[in-house]
Amino acid sequence: MDHKFLDYYNKELTFMREMAQEFADKHPKIAGRLGMHGIEVADPYVERLIESFCFLSARTQIKLDAEFPKFTQRLLDIVYPNYNSPTPSMGVIQLKPNLKEGDLTQGYNVPRGSSFFTHIAPGETTRCEFRSGQDVGLWPLEITEARLSSIPPDMPNLEKHRIAYHRLKVPCALS
């Protein structure tokens, strides 16, 4: 037998006996008909009924305790979606590598753990430090412009093949 279940069962049984004693003190006439005298129950059928109830209550309590963390996690996911899996701090940076290191075919290597610091904002005294989480291959490309627009009017049949509502135009320059 599972010791956890036995502990739950004994707790339920103790609780029911205490409640039976309270009931017997408040309603002695009815308790006498059930064979209840304080914490003792003389009628074996009533005793088995109480034990059966405690058995089922212990099983129910174990299942509730096992499911409670899942329940609270699902509830938190609804109420506060990012609480259980927060998004780490991150940023977009612009690097200007030393052009004497690396080349166009190999790129520039930014090793894992490289530190990057933010500019101190006006009125602030603290700057934020970010570290790269993995090695990054840096290529000498620069985004010169980014623009989001609707589907071009000169391509009316585009919607038949693929559902698209916007297009993104990103010209790049090689440095």
pTM attached to this predicted model: 0.44
Per-residue pLDDT tens over the stretch 118-165: 888 888 888 888 998 899 888 777 777 777 666 666 666 655 555 556
> How many domains does one find in the chain?
3
115-117 vs 108-110, strand pairing mode: unpaired
24 is in which domain, residue-wise?
3-79
- pLDDT bracket for residue 1 (50, 70, 90): low
Tokens 């609480």 found at: 83
CA distances from 28 to 19, 20, 66 (A): 13, 11, 39
Choose the final residue of a domain: 50, 79, 108.
Answer: 79
Q: Phi and psi dihedrals of 37, rounded to 5? A: -130, 95
Q: Are residues 75 and 64 in the same domain?
A: yes
Per-residue pLDDT tens over the stretch 27-78: 888 887 777 777 777 788 888 988 999 999 999 999 988 888 888 888 888 8
Q: Are residues 13 and 74 in the same domain?
A: yes
Contact 24, 58 (CB under 8 A): no
CA distances from 41 to 8, 18, 45, 49 (A): 21, 12, 9, 11
Average pLDDT for 97-104:
71
Q: Are residues 74 and 14 in the same domain?
A: yes
Q: Is residue 169 part of a domain?
A: yes
Task: Name 50's Cβ contacts closer than 8 Å, sequence gap at least 6.
Answer: 13, 16, 17, 20, 41
Spatial distance between the Cα atoms of 127 and 132, rounded to a whole number of angstroms: 17
Pick from 104, 110, 115, 113: which is nearest to 141 by CA? 104
Q: Is residue 84 part of a domain?
A: no
Spatial distance between the Cα atoms of 78 and 124, rounded to a whole number of angstroms: 35
Spatial distance between the Cα atoms of 9 and 6, rounded to a whole number of angstroms: 5
Choose the final residue of a domain: 79, 99, 122.
Answer: 79
